Amino acid sequence: MSELAHGTLAGLAEIADTGRDARRGGYSRHLWQGPDLELRAWFTERAERLGLGVETDRNGNLWAWWGEPGPDAVVTGSHLDSVPGGGAYDGPLGVVSALEAVARLRASGFTPSRPLAVLVFAEEEGSRFGIACLGSRLLTGGIDAGRARALVDADGVTLAEAAHRAGLDPAHLGVDREALARIGLFIELHVEQGRGLIDLGRPVAVASSILAHGRWRLTVTGQGNHAGATLMGDRRDPLLAAARAVVAVQDEALNHPGARATVGRLEVVPGGTNVIASSVHAWLDARAPTDAATRDLVTAIEAAVGEAVTVNGCSVAVTEESWTGTVTFDAVLVGRFRAVLGGGALVPALPTGAGHDAGVLAASVPSAMLFVRNPTGVSHSPEEFAEVDDCVAGIDALASLLRSLL
Ligand code: GLV
Ligand code: MN
Ligand code: MN
């Protein structure tokens, strides 16, 4: 990222070494753990240097205010956490671009007529506590606070304990009507996570919609036993059953137009080389073009997986962990933003299969997104990328929108 070391994207260069994951490649930046804490300190320092006043809300989201906080504020931002082994742009590009757009407005002597904040959401990827967009869900009441407090990370630490260690009062986690009421409009700039802008040959788009999506835990239960002493015909091996289940997930997704279904995480219990597992947890991520299509897909997966595991004498229990309905961004706002940015021929409207805090917020406040071209078309991976010129085009677009709104 050496070409970013100066100029408008210096922010990305400043955090380029934070949270690098030597084992997985890419970055692992998880809520309130070392790298995430460093990024929060970096953001605070950066925003304060710009003359913004930084505060943390009751759910751990960071707000950097230009002027007095709300009401009717224009708010822009994204997140700084990552998936395990993620790329450099998913989240940070939106935060760095927001700070840069504000820096430009300030440097030009612009005086806003309404408050503006740069917002950094906590735990957008759900990599530590399992629920994506946790900060925005808590803020908007999209998750029950009691349920959220009881979420546990891989080390058995509850969200309540982690929040306490991070200096928050766990009793105050949950819907924050006061903070929400300050938002007049939210804009999230994000690296594109598919190939839409590559195919169209454009650097920047406005988001039109987000696929319905959710996460389900599949717990496959068999019989733990000895790897050497148990004849092949005497086994009830849940890992073999889980392997069949993973194939069944793919087959069902292929049967449902526009659907995507993924098992990207397995936990084998107890997990010994010479031990036939007793159970396997597999996490399903399923997405489809409508709420009904996504529900149909998951119903079909449950049936197929239930049947698949019986071949190995196992059973499966399916638990829903999170759900986000289809998001259609406000068409008037999308049209207005495209017009401000030069018209539809220059700035397309694109749907996405990736989830975002802007999608969660859209149920409560007017929300919109800008996408910046990703020439690899790859995301949630170290291969995720954006050219400097396209990032600059994204910042230009965001600054123009902010100027038109303020
Ligand atoms: C977040 O990036 C998601 O789509 O899961
Ligand atoms: Mn992501
Ligand atoms: Mn993201």
Residue 101 is predicted with a pLDDT of 97
* Same domain flag for 7 and 155: yes
Q: Cα separation of 213 and 360, whole Å? A: 12
Of the listed ligands, the closest to the CA of 352 is: 1
Alpha carbon of 100 to ligand 2 centroid (Å): 21
Count the domains in the chain. 2
| CA-proximal residue: ligand 1, atom 1 (nearest) | 355
Tokens of 405: 């709104």
* Same domain flag for 160 and 11: yes
Of the candidates 256, 290, 324, which is a domain's last residue? 324
* Same domain flag for 281 and 334: no
* Same domain flag for 124 and 29: yes
Q: Cα separation of 168 and 160, whole Å? A: 9
Residue 2 is predicted with a pLDDT of 46
Q: How far is CA 73 from CA 76, 91, 183, 186, 270, in A?
A: 10, 21, 5, 9, 51
* Same domain flag for 315 and 369: no
Burial of 129 (0-12, 13-18, 19+ CB in 10 A): buried
- Whether 259 contacts 214, CB under 8 Å: no
Alpha carbon of 125 to ligand 1 centroid (Å): 6
* Same domain flag for 80 and 107: yes
* Same domain flag for 306 and 333: no
* Same domain flag for 37 and 119: yes
Of the candidates 324, 350, 384, which is a domain's last residue? 324
Largest CA distance in the chain: 78
Q: Cα separation of 95 and 372, whole Å? A: 13
Q: What is the pLDDT of residues 108-145, one digit of tens each?
A: 999 999 999 999 999 999 999 999 999 999 999 999 99
Of the listed ligands, the closest to the CA of 26 is: 2
* Same domain flag for 65 and 146: yes
Alpha carbon of 267 to ligand 1 centroid (Å): 20
Q: Which residues of 299-335 are buried (b: 16+ CB within 10 A; e: fewer)?
A: ebbbebbbebbeebebebebeeebbbebbebeeebbe
Q: Cα separation of 68 and 250, whole Å? A: 51
Alpha carbon of 261 to ligand 3 centroid (Å): 19
Q: Cα separation of 246 and 149, whole Å? A: 31
Q: Is 173 in the pocket of ligand 1 (CB under 6 A)?
A: no
The CATH number given to whatever domain includes residue 277 is: 3.30.70.360
Tokens of 45: 């320092």
Of the candidates 267, 294, 324, which is a domain's last residue? 324
Domain that holds residue 21: 2-211+326-405
Nearest to 74 by CA among 354, 348, 337: 337
Residue 8 is predicted with a pLDDT of 77
Tens of pLDDT, residue by residue, the chain (406 residues): 445 545 778 999 999 999 999 999 999 999 999 999 999 999 999 999 999 999 999 999 999 999 999 899 999 999 999 999 999 999 999 999 999 999 999 999 999 999 999 999 999 999 999 999 999 999 999 999 999 999 999 999 999 999 999 999 999 999 999 999 999 999 999 999 999 999 999 999 999 999 999 999 999 999 999 999 999 999 999 999 999 999 999 999 999 999 999 999 999 999 999 999 999 999 999 999 999 999 999 999 999 999 999 999 999 999 999 999 999 999 999 999 999 999 988 999 999 999 999 999 999 999 999 999 999 999 999 999 999 999 999 999 999 999 999 9
* Same domain flag for 225 and 193: no
Residue 345 is predicted with a pLDDT of 85
* Same domain flag for 223 and 128: no
- Residue 118 host element (H or E): strand 116-121
The CATH number given to whatever domain includes residue 85 is: 3.40.630.10
Q: Is 354 in the pocket of ligand 1 (CB under 6 A)?
A: yes
Nearest to 220 by CA among 233, 236, 235, 231: 236
* Same domain flag for 168 and 247: no
Residue 215 labeled ligand binder: yes
Burial of 166 (0-12, 13-18, 19+ CB in 10 A): middle
Q: What is the pTM of this model?
A: 0.96
Side-chain-side CA neighbours of 79 within 13 Å: the count stands at 27
| CA-proximal residue: ligand 1, atom 3 (nearest) | 355
Q: Cα separation of 78 and 71, whole Å? A: 20
